[in-house]
Structure 1
Amino acid sequence: MQTSPTTTLKYLPILLLCAILGSCNGTSQKSPEKPTRELIFVSSDKELNKAFNWAKNKALSYAHDNNDPVGYWYEAALPDREAFCMRDVSHQAIGAEILGLGKHNFNMFLKFAQNISKEKDYCSYWEINRYNKPAPVDYENDQDFWYNLPANFDITFTANRLYKWTGNKEYLENPDLINFYELSLNEYLDHWDLGYRETLERNRSLHTPNNPENSRFGNKRGIPSYNEGGRGETMLGIDMTASIIAAYKAYAEMLKLRGDLSLSSEYLEKANQEQEFLDQFWYDNEKQEYRSILYDDGSFDYFMVGKDQAFLHYLFYFDTIKEDSKILNLVGKYEANFNKLIVELKSYLPIMFYENGKSELANKVIINLCSVQNPRRAYPENSYTVIEHLTRGLMGIEADAANNGFVSFSRLEKDLEWAEMANVPLLSNKIGVKHFGKTKTIAHNINGENIKWTAKIPGTHEFLFVNGEKRASTQVANGMLPYSYITIDLEKNDTATVSTTPQS
């Protein structure tokens, strides 16, 4: 497909609007990776545009260049700690990649990998600061430090996501990262009795300091959940099991891409065993809902809000629920209670709502997260995740490095007539996507080599139209949200339109 003069001018209106709004400059970006064309989002929803502009500028203000001893990094912890935390980095990484902070991501993941050690019982540093040291607020020495045990699995899971988004084979092949993945899924998991065979009998104070009464952190050195509160001694969290499943599956995918099919199958089987444990132990058939925390007295928490909070969102984050009825039940609970959640939890929700047919609610949550009325909106993960939610959630943009392609999927509501995102970095490309309701999508390969575009259109359509030409599509049942798709090749600077009617 050749580029027309109209295509050349395609993004002029959006760039002019960006200049008028001041969204392309705003807070100065400290990163030397500042793109020549910044990420842009505009839509017919002015409040959503405002939220995006605030989130982008805020997130970039947390990015730091290579002048600090730790190298490229962005803040991913409580504000003003000048540090990055394993959980927060995992949660912020895709948003950071979309903002052009690929060097930052890889450097921080490498720092976590390089600091895993037997002396720390195969943990890494929970938080690393700009001086390339463990953050003093969480670390006393190798025997006395704070650590949430899902972290190693979260890093492994997210590393695979970053490969899919970037095509950076260092995430698959770097020796330090491979060492981290393998230690985490073997020595670390066994040493801390986290596998499904041992975890219900494990000692909650495993590997605590020799004199816990004189230590700063005691058994906080190995919290078996991201939930740091609760009403008693947490023996195990459902997110612990979910993170193990996600890490096994992620590493199985990485091994397959490296050509080790036999070992890949072994890890996939381990994931299936942990999934069976999650389905049988963590789901209460009598109550017809998931348990979230197991306490030392044998009791459970379920979905809770307020002081104890709800941590079942990790079932979505780690993709461990398959049954539509269970998904709907849990989505409904979060829909009814999202206003009661703290920012660290609420920042996981928009994409969960987008992917389950509740885009209007997802937009509302994003606007709320970015509002000046939100007293904790400056928490770094908040702004980074908003960028991911709009890109992957509302716009349905996903990268697929193994197939040199990307996907788009409109999740607009009827009252949101159109939305456009430009200069999205994925693989070695910059792409743009514009949705008109749920019936028409335009994609532009702004910069980069040939790339495959899979245009997903909501609903079942025997045929779709590519630049007005009728073509057979593939239909996918996908439970409650069926869709049809077609895949086409986009050369550099190509623009194509996929629609349900033969419109230009």
Structure 2
Amino acid sequence: MTPQPGSYPGLTRRTLLVSAVAAAGTAFAGNGSATAAPALALRSGSNTLNADFAWARKRALDWVQTGKPGTIPSYWAGLTNRPAFYSRDVAHQMLGAHLLGLDAENISMLKVFATSATERRRWYPLWAFQFDGGIYRTDYKSDDNFVREVPAVFELTEKGVRQYLWTGNRAYVDDAALWKYYTNSVTYFIGAHDDNRNGVADEDGTGKIFQGVASYNENGEGLLEAGDGIASQYQALLAYSIAQQARGDEAGAQASARKAANLRAHFEKNWWSASANRYIRGFTKAGARTNFGKENSWFLPMKGLTAPGPRTDAYLDFVHKSVSDLPPFNIEAYTYLPETFFRWGRVDQAWKWFRYVADSRAAYPEVSYTTIGNIAEGLLGIEPNAPASALSTVPQLPSAVPWLELDHVPLGAHDLAVRHDGNKTSALTHHAGPRPLAWTAQFAGRYESVLVNGQRQPAKVSVVEGRTLSSVTITVAPGAKATAAV
């Protein structure tokens, strides 16, 4: 079975693997840091979105702890009354942090988690750390008694490799501590947490976070296997394949991609309920659970584990309706919803939840960081591949945002501006960079040609996760601007 694209819409996982390695000899070899670059800026036809960005940028940067006495490079990632950074939160804030120039902070904190995942702790990283890099004791009593949740193990691997694609920083795939962590997360960790030997990481079903739980949803339900766990495991395997390919291990990369494909096949076969006509979101000792479970429900489509087609379409409707019908719950959970729907091209639903999160103006750090991230990867549809000096875009603007430009987007050593006017016209300005960029301008729908800098070029039509896209790849030299329209 051929592995499906993961969290990289518009560029298949296979394309990323090949192009990243092909560029290995010439890719930016520095640390990819954007800290000295011009500040990220946004302009749009929506005063509301302009205000969202201004608030989120300031609020996110206010949480930076770097430079304060006794701190490591870090930012606040967790409850505002807990001076610490948490694994779940860091994984979800890394994209926004990178866009704001916080690359040193991202890799610093990731390494702290990586080195904490020991055999004694059954390969779990610790849940939270102080800003000096020490253990945050609220969530740790001993190596047998600390907060731990299965999805975080895999998300740290996924998001670490994702930062390699955004920054081109080879430390994300070459650093010994990070590489050991990635490897252990998809090997020893799964082996130590797979009681029924079906290849899916599980927990004991106590529902007690200090003993280990299978899901991010801390409702004490007692899941043995959870949707957010298996979905995050799937993405970690795909990310590990990319990292192996970047390190020159073609055979290993193919083996990991096969493991991801096999896991997805297992899911489609064993996590579907014919009686409920719906995906299963987890298993307790009493059996399968098909009702709504927040994270262990929406992570299934958010991570691309569900297959394109009627099942996923119906499940996305189920998630949207279920969240809409519930009374308000913790804002952190809502921050995942925009990317869940943007991933599948459901712009109106994604925008509804983007607005809900942004309108909250909640101090919780994940709110501001993910607002920035969802502008870049959601509304603008940016898909990075810095090691290959490449990116793709697909406009996903709701009617409330007639045009949008994000300026000084850091992609490796490149400084870019990405603009969409509606969903049929795009522009890329390559302010500066060490070499030309390959920009794949994509548009939803089937078109025979794309107007590139005023000249018609044949369009390549592909289907990505059930969505028809028409695209053309344009070489954009440093200092140049290119436009594409359908």
Question: Structure 1-normalised TM-score?
Answer: 0.84
After TM superposition, the structure 1 = structure 2 runs for residues 249-288 of structure 1, keeping only pairs within 5 Å, are 249-288=238-277
Match status 1:397 vs 2:379: no
**Larger deviation, residues 256-265 vs 379-388:** 256-265
Kindly state the Cα deviation for residue 162 of structure 1 after the two structures are TM-superposed. 0.9
**CA 1:200–1:410: 2 relative to 1, 3 Å:** closer
Q: Which amino acid aligns with 1:167?
A: G
**CA 1:178–1:393: 2 relative to 1, 3 Å:** same
> How many residues are treated as equivalent by the alignment?
450
**CA 1:431–1:234: 2 relative to 1, 3 Å:** same
| Paired residue secondary structure (1:312) | helix
| Partners of 1:456 and 1:483 within 8 A in 2 | yes
Q: Which amino acid aligns with 1:497?
A: T
The equivalent residue for 1:115 is 116
The equivalent residue for 1:169 is 170
Match status 1:222 vs 2:208: no
Kindly state the Cα deviation for residue 201 of structure 1 after the two structures are TM-superposed. 9.1
| Partners of 2:301 and 2:316 within 8 A in 1 | no
Match status 1:153 vs 2:154: yes
The structure 1 residue matched to 2:321, chosen from 328, 333, 336, is: 336
Q: Which runs of 5+ in 1 are unaligned?
A: 1-31, 206-216
Flag as ranges the 4+ runs of structure 1 deviating above 6 A: none
The equivalent residue for 1:134 is 135
Kindly state the Cα deviation for residue 388 of structure 1 after the two structures are TM-superposed. 1.0
Q: Deviations over 1:280-318 (max 9, x none)?
A: 2222123221122322233524224xxxx4532212332
Match status 1:468 vs 2:469: no
Question: Structure 2-normalised TM-score?
Answer: 0.86
The equivalent residue for 1:435 is 420
Q: Deviations over 1:32-75 (max 9, x none)?
A: 97555211122112112211221111111111214454511111
**Higher-Rg member (1/2):** 1
| Partners of 1:455 and 1:498 within 8 A in 2 | yes
The structure 1 residue matched to 2:337, chosen from 345, 349, 354, is: 349
The 2-side partners of 1:74 and 1:202 are apart by 30
The 2-side partners of 1:352 and 1:135 are apart by 31
The structure 1 residue matched to 2:366, chosen from 361, 369, 381, is: 381
Overall identity of the aligned pairs, in %: 26
Kindly state the Cα deviation for residue 325 of structure 1 after the two structures are TM-superposed. 1.3
The 1-side partners of 2:319 and 2:136 are apart by 33
The structure 1 residue matched to 2:225, chosen from 217, 231, 236, is: 236
Q: Which amino acid aligns with 1:248?
A: L
| Paired residue secondary structure (1:133) | coil
The 2-side partners of 1:442 and 1:201 are apart by 45
**CA 1:239–1:200: 2 relative to 1, 3 Å:** closer
**CA 1:202–1:222: 2 relative to 1, 3 Å:** closer
Kindly state the Cα deviation for residue 327 of structure 1 after the two structures are TM-superposed. 2.1
Kindly state the Cα deviation for residue 274 of structure 1 after the two structures are TM-superposed. 1.9
Report the aligned-residue RMSD: 2.4
Match status 1:99 vs 2:100: yes
Kindly state the Cα deviation for residue 357 of structure 1 after the two structures are TM-superposed. 3.8
Q: Deviations over 1:95-122 (max 9, x none)?
A: 1111111111011111111122122222
| Partners of 1:227 and 1:237 within 8 A in 2 | no
| Paired residue secondary structure (2:216) | coil
| Partners of 1:116 and 1:180 within 8 A in 2 | yes
The equivalent residue for 1:5 is none
Q: Which runs of 5+ in 2 are unaligned?
A: 1-32
The equivalent residue for 2:393 is 408
Match status 1:191 vs 2:177: no
Q: Which amino acid aligns with 1:241?
A: I
Match status 1:54 vs 2:44: no
The equivalent residue for 2:24 is none
Q: Deviations over 1:407-436 (max 9, x none)?
A: 121112345321111111112111101111
The 2-side partners of 1:199 and 1:467 are apart by 49
The answer to which structure, 1 or 2, has the higher relative contact order (CA under 8 A, 6+ apart) is 2
